[in-house]
Chains A and B, each alone.
Chain A
């Protein structure tokens, strides 16, 4: 009797054990927490005051002297944008060739130098470092000869790099949603208080808008097109930048509008170069002078920017920097 009871108990234990093992599952798969990316503080460059931000070196057509300053003897490497519609962008309908108002300047300089042009796409933040500027006390190796990428001339930047004479006078403005146009036109930048406004990291636009309206929430992106993606995905309410760039963004999105507004700042564009490449800068100035006089500047402006920004003429250059 006892042994029968024992056998039954054992069978029970075995069946229960089997069922337990069958039902017993694995622990849920866990994805390890991602390490938070190291946050980099913005550039802590102390603003420099001066009254000759647009003053460049006297033009010179000494191509040989300019060529001696190139990084490669037979090649001009120019840092450009490939996503700034109408200024410098890769056109998918034209075999992805990079073209635009800035690119025309780069082509003209390379042609005048008699060398091959290499366009290297760079971000706004990369501009000074790739030109070999010393930033935040850190030296950088020069990798490009020039920057033709809507580069605003200012006194602080002159301490890091050299500029050509001004080749376009842009202004900083704001792009908003179609729904917000009325409010913006009525109250101006005050309507942006508490709103998220995007501008490229390393550009002057973020500093400028914070100075005018400290209550905006500045949101950086790698470039203006990155701002447009954030804008389309509802992450930011507005984008600030140069009127040239904003016109290109508005052209890509019918819900993005640049309302009638007062300019926030003047943004004179120059071609950036290494601080020591004065012969190259002087040569670029002679090319810009030539383009102004032979109508090439106007032709280029009319082709790329006039449909979006209306009539304009070439800005007058200032020389005499030593």
Chain B
């Protein structure tokens, strides 16, 4: 392939050539001759490589962004699942403990069963969806099994009038908080970190850097050619540079838009879904503690402290659309405590168990429903927004790769032109 030819030996330019294309620098000091065809081959290789590597890297970074958004949507869904498990479990406990105050009211049993079914179903779904959570979800399954068995023991003893039933129930609630709560907290923390991490998967800076490096490479190549030939601009390289510029601008703008959209989602709907799910869990925890304190009849100081802690957690996330029902609940709760502390346990119990608007269950149920709806709506927005436009992002990624190859062909053509002029 390589050809040794001195500039003096080079044939004169063909008559049809538009302009003299003789190398501007015919000789190099000390060497006496330059291997122009070899040089042109090397520059062609470098130029094509720059264009192809640009196309590959741009496409790869955009592909990672596309993949990351998909993962963020899945991670958000998983986060929603584990928070649903947490809220439903505490809701089930609130129902079980409240029912116990009136001798195991059967009318609340169906709702308790529904919540436990939700918990078990979501544990299975969550284990299928995220292998990294599978082991701890297995442990959670055991803890939920222990809890439901203890509640069943409590109920069956209570139905026979045996006081050991109350012991099974308070033991079940205590065990639930000791065993299941740390697992659920770890799951929520891990999946929040995953979802937030995945939402950071857009890299406009890297795309800009790759584009600038590629442009710098093509510019350098153009300068090399300009030094050796008498044409300042190589058309092929100029077209390749234009392609690189367009791809870079599209890629950077696209990634930047998605990055800011993800930031908005993370600080907006995702944060809202997380905080409202926490509030819902804490509210049901408070209701369970309210009932447990009444079951203990004066020796439930620990549950009163727990209630205050849960209430603080709820109040951190209160919104206008949930604040009213929560404040109504707190007012009835304070009345219940006043009655119980004043020796009117029966009246306090009645306020805690009635389904009428005057009791504590109704406003708590309203809060539970409202916060559940907020969580579902906000999580739905997050999932939808993360998935929307992903097809376009993938198409741009493929497009970048193809245009990179196209740019390489233009580089080849531009250098081929010089080769033809030279020969």
| Chain A bound to chain B | yes
**Closest Cβ–Cβ distance, residue B305 to chain A (whole Å):** 16
For window 267-296 of chain A, which residues contact chain B by CB distance below 8 Å? none
Whether A22 contacts B182 by the Cβ 8 Å rule is no
Any A CB within 8 A of the CB of B178: yes
From the candidates B101, B157, B164, B186, name the one contacting A96 in the complex (CB within 8 A): B101
| Closest A residue by C-beta to B67 | A21
For window 176-191 of chain B, which residues contact chain A by CB distance below 8 Å? 178, 182-183, 186-187, 190-191
Any A CB within 8 A of the CB of B165: yes
Any A CB within 8 A of the CB of B297: yes
- A205-227, CB under 8 A of B: which get 1 and which 0? 00000000000000000010110
Any B CB within 8 A of the CB of A44: no
Tell me whether A85 and B187 are in contact in the complex, defined as CB-CB below 8 angstroms, given that A25-B131, A31-B136 are known contacts: no
A84 / chain B contacts, CB cutoff of 8 Å: 163
From the candidates A17, A26, A31, A118, name the one contacting B130 in the complex (CB within 8 A): A26
Any B CB within 8 A of the CB of A11: yes
B49 / chain A contacts, CB cutoff of 8 Å: 3, 6
Tell me whether A118 and B157 are in contact in the complex, defined as CB-CB below 8 angstroms, given that A26-B130, A96-B103 are known contacts: no
**Closest Cβ–Cβ distance, residue B128 to chain A (whole Å):** 14
Whether A18 contacts B161 by the Cβ 8 Å rule is no
**Closest Cβ–Cβ distance, residue B419 to chain A (whole Å):** 14
Whether A31 contacts B60 by the Cβ 8 Å rule is no
Tell me whether A83 and B190 are in contact in the complex, defined as CB-CB below 8 angstroms, given that A10-B53, A25-B132, A229-B168 are known contacts: no
A3 / chain B contacts, CB cutoff of 8 Å: 44-45, 48-49, 52, 408, 412
From the candidates A32, A34, A92, A120, name the one contacting B165 in the complex (CB within 8 A): A92
For window 142-173 of chain A, which residues contact chain B by CB distance below 8 Å? none
Any A CB within 8 A of the CB of B104: yes
For window 288-323 of chain B, which residues contact chain A by CB distance below 8 Å? 296-299
| Closest B residue by C-beta to A17 | B60
| Closest B residue by C-beta to A122 | B299
- B77-118, CB under 8 A of A: which get 1 and which 0? 000000000000000000000000111100000000000000
**Closest Cβ–Cβ distance, residue B325 to chain A (whole Å):** 28
B186 / chain A contacts, CB cutoff of 8 Å: 29-32
Kindly state the interface size class of chain B when it binds its partner: 35 or more
Whether A7 contacts B408 by the Cβ 8 Å rule is yes
CA–CA, A122 to B296, complex, Å?
A: 8
Whether B161 contacts A96 by the Cβ 8 Å rule is no
Tell me whether A83 and B163 are in contact in the complex, defined as CB-CB below 8 angstroms, given that A17-B60, A31-B182, A34-B178 are known contacts: yes
| Closest B residue by C-beta to A30 | B186
- A83-102, CB under 8 A of B: which get 1 and which 0? 11100011111011010000
Any B CB within 8 A of the CB of A187: no
- A118-129, CB under 8 A of B: which get 1 and which 0? 111111001000
Whether A14 contacts B56 by the Cβ 8 Å rule is yes
Whether B101 contacts A228 by the Cβ 8 Å rule is no
Any B CB within 8 A of the CB of A64: no
B163 / chain A contacts, CB cutoff of 8 Å: 82-85, 89-90, 225, 248, 252
For window 35-81 of chain B, which residues contact chain A by CB distance below 8 Å? 44-45, 48-49, 52-53, 56, 59-60, 63-64, 67
| Closest A residue by C-beta to B75 | A26
B14 / chain A contacts, CB cutoff of 8 Å: none
A79 / chain B contacts, CB cutoff of 8 Å: 298
Whether B44 contacts A92 by the Cβ 8 Å rule is no
Whether B187 contacts A29 by the Cβ 8 Å rule is yes
Whether B164 contacts A225 by the Cβ 8 Å rule is yes
CA–CA, A121 to B48, complex, Å?
A: 85
Any B CB within 8 A of the CB of A28: yes
Whether A228 contacts B164 by the Cβ 8 Å rule is yes
Any A CB within 8 A of the CB of B145: no
Whether B132 contacts A27 by the Cβ 8 Å rule is yes
Any A CB within 8 A of the CB of B375: no
Any A CB within 8 A of the CB of B263: no
Any B CB within 8 A of the CB of A46: no
From the candidates A29, A96, A223, name the one contacting B102 in the complex (CB within 8 A): A96
Tell me whether A31 and B45 are in contact in the complex, defined as CB-CB below 8 angstroms, given that A90-B163, A252-B157 are known contacts: no
| Closest B residue by C-beta to A221 | B167
CA–CA, A295 to B269, complex, Å?
A: 72
Whether A26 contacts B132 by the Cβ 8 Å rule is yes
**Closest Cβ–Cβ distance, residue A244 to chain B (whole Å):** 14
Any A CB within 8 A of the CB of B267: no
B210 / chain A contacts, CB cutoff of 8 Å: none
| Closest B residue by C-beta to A13 | B56
Any A CB within 8 A of the CB of B283: no
Whether B60 contacts A14 by the Cβ 8 Å rule is yes
Any A CB within 8 A of the CB of B220: no
Tell me whether A229 and B297 are in contact in the complex, defined as CB-CB below 8 angstroms, given that A21-B64, A252-B162 are known contacts: no
B52 / chain A contacts, CB cutoff of 8 Å: 3, 6-7, 10
**Closest Cβ–Cβ distance, residue A99 to chain B (whole Å):** 11
Any B CB within 8 A of the CB of A75: yes
**Closest Cβ–Cβ distance, residue B116 to chain A (whole Å):** 21
Any A CB within 8 A of the CB of B346: yes
Any A CB within 8 A of the CB of B391: no
B53 / chain A contacts, CB cutoff of 8 Å: 10
**Closest Cβ–Cβ distance, residue B15 to chain A (whole Å):** 32
Whether B194 contacts A31 by the Cβ 8 Å rule is no
| Closest B residue by C-beta to A88 | B163
Any B CB within 8 A of the CB of A77: yes
From the candidates B67, B167, B346, B408, name the one contacting A229 in the complex (CB within 8 A): B167
Interface residues of A (CB under 8 A from B): 2-3, 6-7, 10-11, 13-14, 17-18, 21-22, 25-32, 34, 75, 77, 79, 82-85, 89-93, 95-96, 98, 116-123, 126, 223, 225-226, 228-229, 232, 248-249, 252-253
Known: A18-B60, A29-B191, A84-B163. 5 other contacts (CB 8 A): A3-B49, A6-B48, A22-B67, A75-B343, A89-B163
Q: Please name 8 pairs of A and B residues whose Cβ atoms are closer than 8 Å in the assembled complex, sorted by A.
A: A30-B186, A83-B163, A93-B161, A118-B343, A229-B171, A232-B164, A249-B164, A252-B157
Name the 10 nearest CB pairs between A and B, nearest first.
A120-B298, A118-B343, A121-B297, A83-B163, A92-B103, A26-B132, A252-B162, A225-B167, A29-B190, A89-B163
